[in-house]
Amino acid sequence: MASQVFDVEPIPCLRDNYAYLIHERGGEDAFVVDPSEAAPIAAALRERRLRLRGILATHHHPDHVGGIAELAGGGDVWVAGHADDRGRIPRQTIFLEAPRGSFVPAGVTVAGRALMGMHIPGHTRAAIAWGLAASGGGAPTDVFTGDTLFAGGCGRLFEGTPEQMFASLRSITALPPPTRLWFGHEYTANNLRFAAAVEPDSPPIADRLAHLPACTTPTTVALELATNPFVRAGSVEELASRRSAKDSF
């Protein structure tokens, strides 16, 4: 996109986690999503001569917040999470009471973009999708989905119900088709093998599986609508049975 003046860089962490470094071209300020561990983020900041200003947590699991305490240090770095994750996200300073179904402004900017949040329970009870929108408003063009929506898959239901996951996936994929979705784990190959077992005659799934790069993030709303068996589930019951089948796949 020619008008894009900010970068989102996936930073591989732990075994298969992605943290995301966000910065404005030519600027010094940086923001990070879901830093599982501090070292890879600190190294990326040093190499690019960036200063960390804010941290976004999609949910409280250790493989998403493990690096926050060290990265936030004693400095003036804000830490944003859903209000209902209070006490579960280290050093949290922004407690967004984001609703289900639509994005609301978080009141801060990230690389010149307006930060917005939407509650997406299912994987955890306080999971939040973070969106970056043009500063003038409108739908976010880039959304961080944590462990709720993966490329070709969805997270396990640790603290939520199939109803909640169904509604959360619907809310995310109701965004415009080109919306970029940046997710929490590189599980895509396995997810698409499951998708191919669910829909063996689907050309889009077979084609996606045959042309997978090593790093598959970001995906798009359009691609998930065409290939993700959980997004494509026609009912809560169908999502629930696919989720249990996937647990033992």
Q: Could you list the residues that contact Fe ion (CB under 5 A)?
A: 63, 147, 184
CB of 91 or CB of 156, closer to Fe ion:
156
Q: How far is the CB of 7 from Fe ion (least distance, A)?
A: 23
Q: Is residue 37 involved in binding Zn ion (CB under 5 A)? A: no
Q: How far is the CB of 116 from Fe ion (least distance, A)?
A: 22
Please give the angle made by the CA atoms of 158, 164 and 165, to the nearest 5 degrees: 70
Q: Is residue 113 involved in binding Zn ion (CB under 5 A)? A: no
- The span from the CA of 120 to the CA of 208, in Å, is 26
Site string for Zn ion, 114-153 (x = CB under 5 A): ---------------------------------x------
The entry of Zn ion, Fe ion, none that residue 34 binds, CB within 5 to 8 Å by partner kind: none
CB of 59 or CB of 180, closer to Zn ion:
59
Three-state secondary-structure class, residue 112 = coil
- The span from the CA of 21 to the CA of 192, in Å, is 26
Site string for Zn ion, 40-79 (x = CB under 5 A): ---------------------x------------------
CB of 111 or CB of 184, closer to Fe ion:
184
61 forms beta bridges with none
DSSP of 200-247, one letter per residue?
Answer: TT-HHHHHHHHT--S----EEHHHHHHH-TTTS-SSHHHHHHHHHHHH
| Residues 64 and 81: beta-carbon distance below 8 Å | no
- The span from the CA of 229 to the CA of 226, in Å, is 9
CB of 111 or CB of 127, closer to Fe ion:
127
End-to-end CA distance of the chain: 38
- The span from the CA of 244 to the CA of 249, in Å, is 9
CB of 147 or CB of 224, closer to Fe ion:
147
The entry of Zn ion, Fe ion, none that residue 24 binds, CB within 5 to 8 Å by partner kind: none
Q: Is residue 82 involved in binding Zn ion (CB under 5 A)? A: no
Q: How far is the CB of 16 from Zn ion (least distance, A)?
A: 12
Burial of 198 (0-12, 13-18, 19+ CB in 10 A): middle
Q: Is residue 84 involved in binding Zn ion (CB under 5 A)? A: no
Residue numbers at the binding site for Zn ion (CB under 5 A): 61, 147
